[in-house]
Structure 1
Amino acid sequence: TAEQLQKQVQEQIRKYTLFGNEEIVFDYCTFEGAAASSDKRAVLEAVTTRRISDACLAVARQAKLDLIGIEPAILPVMKLIYDELAAESAGASMLLALDSVSGCVGVFEDGLPRFCQNLSIGVKRLSAGEDNFAQLMDQIKPVLQFA
């Protein structure tokens, strides 16, 4: 049921997020494309601290904007790539979406999303050259082993 899924997601968030004792705010969505062809559902989470969400809401209120939803940052990229992967992918594949300070690793199995993890990278590591990029890849390895 939806209530069971919410409890399960909340337990996983509390177990694996790195916010310590700070109050967190979360939302999640099931990846609908994966639900049709599998017994398992991919769940993407959006998690932040209450402090950050309250600050964002205060800015929105000041600008007279309404909050219509909170989504995981990687969701649009995952939806975009899903159609291509579902048609032609067999086995495991990885999507690595990077910007200058963060990124996301998405692991797909037979074209279906199975794991998604956000990464904090930092500008210096990416702009320093190939030597430091190898260090970044070493940091990503434990995430992939977890998947």
Structure 2
Amino acid sequence: MARILAIDYGTKRTGIAITDELQIIASGLTTVNTPELISFLKDYCATENVETIVIGEPKRMNNEASQSEVHIQKFLEKLQIELPHIPTERVDERFTSKMAFQSMIDGGLKKKQRANKALIDEISATIILQTYLDGKR
């Protein structure tokens, strides 16, 4: 089997998570500066077998798209051009940042570590990926 990669897209930083080859476990991979994201994904997908890319879909409480969806749509267009052979899926990402922050507290991270926004983005991507995996089962 191939891996599934998940993205918590942000205009500055983007969190990335990946599954194992059996698609059982979602793990944080890294956080990338968003301007370097397409290049990172092309390099990563050239060395790893990636089956699907899952992108968080930010929504408001009334189910409307959030303001950041405009940026994500532009990214998706570029991604389709650069990696047309890898399908993309969307997953509702409401509350993932709050869940990521809470998991840092529950994990015993110190206040200074919890201020690391890159880590929050990576954990958010992991939550998005785990949500996708749970929905597949």
Confirm or deny a common fold (TM above 0.5): no
Greater relative contact order (Cα < 8 A, sep 6+): 2
- TM-score for both structures, normalised by structure 2: 0.30
Q: Radius of gyration: which is bigger? A: 1
